């Protein structure tokens, strides 16, 4: 559906009087159409059967850390836990 609407939108540019937009519309519309046909009709003939992917180790996402790292490992002086991070959960 996305390919059809993109082809239609770029194809509409092909009917303008401005030559640059006309060429852009035709080349982009035809490119999207040919790539759609290639992926749906040629790829299945090239890759008839692919082996199943091997399971891989899921490493943590860079930049992510556990929320517990914000909390202290021991209670602060006075014995009361800080309550500021809990609204962020």
Q: What is the pLDDT along the chain (89 residues), one digit of tens a residue?
A: 899 999 999 989 988 889 999 999 999 999 999 999 999 998 888 888 777 777 766 666 565 555 556 655 555 555 565 566 555 55
Instruction: Please indicate, yes or no, if residue 22 is contained in any of the structural domains.
Output: yes
Instruction: Please indicate, yes or no, if residue 60 is contained in any of the structural domains.
Output: no
pLDDT for res 6 = 93
Instruction: Please indicate, yes or no, if residue 80 is contained in any of the structural domains.
Output: no
What's the pTM value of the predicted model, to 2 decimals?
A: 0.52
Instruction: Please indicate, yes or no, if residue 39 is contained in any of the structural domains.
Output: yes
Instruction: Please indicate, yes or no, if residue 78 is contained in any of the structural domains.
Output: no
The number of residues making up the chain comes to 89
| Number of domains within the chain | 1
pLDDT for res 69 = 60
Structural domain for 27, as ranges: 2-46
Contact 16, 22 (CB under 8 A): yes
């Amino acid at each position: 559906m996305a390919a059809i609407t993109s082809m239609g939108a770029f194809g509409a540019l092909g009917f303008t009087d401005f030559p640059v937009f006309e060429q852009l519309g035709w080349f982009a519309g035809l490119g999207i159409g040919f790539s759609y046909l290639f992926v749906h009709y040629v790829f299945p003939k090239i890759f008839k059967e692919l082996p199943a992917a091997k399971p891989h180790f899921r490493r943590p996402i860079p930049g992510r850390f556990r929320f517990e790292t914000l909390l202290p490992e021991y209670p602060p002086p006075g014995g009361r836990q800080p309550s500021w991070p809990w609204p962020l959960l």
